[in-house]
Amino acid sequence: MALNRYQTYKLLGQLFTSGLTEEVVESVREVDTLAQHLPTSIDLDEAAADHQHIFGFNVFPYESVFLDPSGQLGGDITTSTIRDYRQAGYDADSSIGSPDHIGDELAFLAYLNEAEARANEQNNPAQAELMGKYQRSFLDEHTLRWMPPLVLGIQGQRHPFYRAVAVLMQETVVTHRKALGDLPSASFKLPEPPILLEDEKTGLREIAAYLITTSFSGIYLSRDDIGRLARDNSVPRGFGDRRQMLVNLLRAAATYGDVVLVLSSLQEITNSWEASYKAMANSSEPMHLATSWAKRVVATSSIIAHMSIRLLDAG
């Protein structure tokens, strides 16, 4: 089982880190849930472009981006990840920017499972048990905590192959965590969000910053998501990073009198994420951690609703 998990985690890590390369194509073809989304003839240049579009421009798959209140790389989360790697003797891949990249976290889990399998082969139960403890701790304190919004964020990009990769990652992590026993509690503490509506200085920039920060809002808005939001409401969204694009969109909507329609679209997005989180939480016991994310989205939905009411009353 440890060897099987090692192979699966290694493949998943490679797919998230580098995408569909010549090195992994044959391994992918052996996984039915992934192979069914592959074309008969694979254009590796096109595959590289797809990977860059999703993970280079839209969904930034770093734990700190999803969990840190700054929404930026680095900080305590990155430091904690590095500490766990070093404790287990793992050297992170420095080529992917920050060690809390999901590709590195999955590669670390592959490393731990390979070490466990090797310990069992060498009849070293104490070492095997230690590797199991490292796996349990890392899953509970890192990967499981941010996997719910990561999976939903990837699924929102509407790329069939990477949607399947995200689902396989979730299934692998859930099955693995169940096998380790002593499951984590049903919730964990997310960073305390700012109180928007009670602050008179709150403007469109603060609202956009809140929505873009996943640990506050509970949702992940990619560049493409914001682009679709703009197109659906016939509002320009300009250029820049995700935060600036959303600020531009909200300002344009306010200028043209369409801000309530945009807020209504955002409400639909939060409703969809809430339903997805609840489905995750009910699907299996390790995924009950999604409950914390569902609660955060409920709070965001309430904020959007109050903003809409204020604007309608003012109008």
Q: How far is CA 22 from CA 25, 68, 110, 118, 306, in A?
A: 5, 35, 20, 28, 51
Confidence of residue 312 (pLDDT cuts 50, 70, 90): low
Q: Where are the domains of the chain?
A: 2-180, 204-314
Average pLDDT (49-76) is 94
Q: How far is CA 217 from CA 85, 139, 212, 253, in A?
A: 29, 23, 7, 21
The yes-or-no verdict on residue 311 having pLDDT over 70 is no
Mean pLDDT of the chain: 91
The yes-or-no verdict on residue 106 having pLDDT over 90 is yes
- Write out pLDDT tens, residues 220-277: 999 999 999 999 998 888 788 999 999 999 989 888 878 888 989 999 999 999 999 9
Euclidean distance between CA atoms 117 and 1, whole angstroms: 8
CATH superfamily label, 2-180: TorD-like (1.10.3480.10)
Q: Is 76 exposed, middle or buried (0-12, 13-18, 19+ CB in 10 A)?
A: exposed
Tokens, residue 191: 């960073």
Give the least confident one: 34-38, 96-100, 112-116, 221-225: 96-100
The pLDDT value given to residue 40: 83
Give the least confident one: 79-83, 95-99, 154-158: 95-99
- Write out pLDDT tens, residues 9-38: 999 999 999 999 999 999 999 999 999 999
- Write out pLDDT tens, residues 126-148: 999 999 999 999 999 999 999 99
The pLDDT value given to residue 267: 93
Confidence of residue 310 (pLDDT cuts 50, 70, 90): low
User: What is the residue-wise DSSP string for the chain?
Assistant: -HHHHHHHHHHHHHHHHH-S-TTTHHHHHTSHHHHTTS-SS--HHHHHHHHHHHHHHT---BHHHHHSTT-SS-HHHHHHHHHHHHHTTPPP-GGGSSTTBHHHHHHHHHHHHHHHHHHHHTT-HHHHHHHHHHHHHHIIIIIHHHHHHHHHHHHTT--HHHHHHHHHHHHHHHHHHHHH-SPPPS--PPPPPP--TT-TT--HHHHHHHHH-HHHHS----HHHHHHHHHHTT----SSSHHHHHHHHHHHHHHHT-HHHHHHHHHHHHHHHHHHHHHHHHH-GGGGGHHHHHHHHHHHHHHHHHHHHHHHHH-
Q: Which of the pair, 185 or 144, is modelled with greater confidence?
A: 144
pTM of the predicted protein model: 0.94
The yes-or-no verdict on residue 314 having pLDDT over 60 is no
